[in-house]
Amino acid sequence: MESDKRNVFVVGLNDTNRQRLERLRGAESCRFHGVIEPAAVYNTEVFDIAAMLAEATAQLEAFDGNVDAIAGYMDFPVSTMLPILCERFGTRSPSLSSLLKCEHKYWSRMVQREVIPQHIPNFTAFDPFDDDALTRIGEAGLYFPFFVKPIKSSGSRLGFRIDTPEDFYQAIEHLRADIGLIADPFNTVLEHARLPEEIEAVDGHFCMAEEIIGGWQCTVEGYVHDGEVVSYGIVDSLRYPQVLSFFHYRYPSGLPDPVQAKMLELTDTVMRHIGFDHSAFNIEYFWDEAQDRIWLLEINTRISQSHCDLFEKVDGISNQQVTIDLALGQSPDMPHRQGRYAVAGKFFHRVFFTDAVVTRVPDAAAIKALEKAFPGTVIALQVEAGQRLSTLPEQDSYSFALAYIWMGATSVEQLLDNYDRLVTQLDFAFDDIEG
């Protein structure tokens, strides 16, 4: 009966993800409801957290029925809002403090250093509005080259490799201009938490400087259910040659088995220490093959939405299964290697301009024809004709993503060959090209 269905509320639910959710195991016993319009959390850089929390609370209070679960699968601001909403309505989620021990990058590094110090880089926090910041970074034992990023960032935005003082001061200009877009709403979240004194002094306007780490990058997808840490897949993150921009994500990982096993051990250690529970997470790692050393890059308190299609193609169901099952308080019913393809990838079709105006994009018929020619392929354009690239939100500091392309194949070689053949048929054009 319809009245027996459990009501699952998803922050920023859009049509694509509703379709994925309705394909999950047990979906027939759920009704999925959106909370906050997708436009408020997608394709924007302005987040009024207080207003969004008030809006979500009003929507949930006005619902005529049980609120059985509140879930999300997005990064900031959704991930940081969920514990606050779930506490208000008595649904399952991690504690806000355990979530912030993952998402507040300085606090996270401090906690990681307590249990896996040999697997994290040297780091320090600094105030980008401090004119002596570079001197203070040096006093903390960090020297060129190093990497800087905000205490709370989204994607690779406002992350910079620093090789010279000139690089640092250029990065500082960008950080001072734009850091408030995330820092101000993140500080709203911090006001809801009890923070240790040394963490309270490092608010959302601060940045991190870290020793350069690198190697083969990957992401461990996992969850914690009633204190048990479970890792169910490792996705490789492969970059374009000589730049920091991602080329594609690939699943399953091609890392050696002993390296994968060590990453799972580290994951178990750090997530137990943090006290994170009742939720999905993913942890990004590097494997430095030359030194045979594993580095923990960062912890995210959600599934990676970019990986949903990859798990569906290879394992048979989106890893949103984990998000929904945990929000309902049940052990995730996640299959393994029951999908149509042996390997899958999400590709980022990019241009490496400083800026430009898009004058032509592939039309709907061309996209449909390509998806038909390469079965299992999904193409999502990220630009439209007339758009200036610099207006795109959530871009890294070196390129612009024109399209996301998900593909499946029987082998890595076939996957890469199919992508190379497809991308030559995507018809984009530009004007006013800079850089």
pLDDT tens for each residue of 78-129: 999 999 999 999 999 999 999 999 999 999 999 999 999 999 999 999 999 9
Q: Are strands 400-409 and 343-351 parallel, antiparallel or unpaired?
A: antiparallel
Cα 119 from Cα 187, distance rounded (Å) = 29
112 located within any domain: no
Does residue 423 have a pLDDT over 60? Answer: yes
Q: Are strands 378-381 and 400-409 parallel, antiparallel or unpaired?
A: antiparallel
Read off the CATH number of the domain in which 131 is found: 3.30.1490
pLDDT of residue 202: 97
Last residue of a domain, one of 150, 177, 211: 211
Per the model's pLDDT, the better-predicted residue between 18 and 154 turns out to be 18
Read off the CATH number of the domain in which 402 is found: 3.30.470.20
Are residues 295 and 286 in contact, defined by beta-carbon separation less than 8 angstroms? yes
Q: Are residues 133 and 268 in the same domain?
A: no
Are residues 38 and 62 in contact, defined by beta-carbon separation less than 8 angstroms? no
Cα 380 from Cα 146, distance rounded (Å) = 34
113 located within any domain: no
Q: Are residues 224 and 204 in the same domain?
A: no
Last residue of a domain, one of 163, 184, 211: 211
403 located within any domain: yes
Last residue of a domain, one of 147, 180, 211: 211
Q: Are residues 270 and 390 in the same domain?
A: yes
Q: Are residues 415 and 306 in the same domain?
A: yes
Q: Are residues 173 and 33 in the same domain?
A: no
C-alpha to C-alpha distances, 352 to 44, 243, 246, 277, nearest whole angstrom: 22, 10, 12, 40
Q: Are residues 368 and 224 in the same domain?
A: yes
Does residue 13 have a pLDDT over 50? Answer: yes
Read off the CATH number of the domain in which 85 is found: 3.40.50
Are residues 249 and 238 in contact, defined by beta-carbon separation less than 8 angstroms? yes
Quote the pTM value.
Answer: 0.93
- For the CA atoms of 32, 35, 36, 41, the dihedral, rounded to the nearest 10 degrees, stands at -70
Q: Are residues 187 and 302 in the same domain?
A: no
Lowest model confidence (mean pLDDT) among 66-75, 150-159, 205-214: 150-159
30 located within any domain: yes
Per the model's pLDDT, the better-predicted residue between 241 and 381 turns out to be 381
> DSSP H helical segments within 304-411, as ranges?
308-315, 320-327, 364-373
174 located within any domain: yes
pLDDT tens for each residue of 135-176: 999 999 999 999 999 999 876 678 999 999 999 999 999 999
- When divided into structural domains, the chain yields a total of 3
Does residue 182 have a pLDDT over 70? Answer: yes
Q: Are residues 371 and 237 in the same domain?
A: yes
106 located within any domain: no
Q: What are phi and psi of 69, to 5 degrees?
A: -160, 145
115 located within any domain: no
Q: Are residues 184 and 229 in the same domain?
A: no
pLDDT of residue 156: 67
Q: Are residues 365 and 402 in the same domain?
A: yes
Q: Are residues 203 and 240 in the same domain?
A: no
Across the range 237-262, mean pLDDT stands at: 95
Does residue 1 have a pLDDT over 60? Answer: no
Domain that holds residue 169: 122-211
User: Residue 124 in 3-state DSSP?
Assistant: strand
pLDDT of residue 2: 57
| Beta bridge partners of residue 283, listed in sequence order | 220, 299
Q: Are residues 240 and 315 in the same domain?
A: yes
101 located within any domain: no
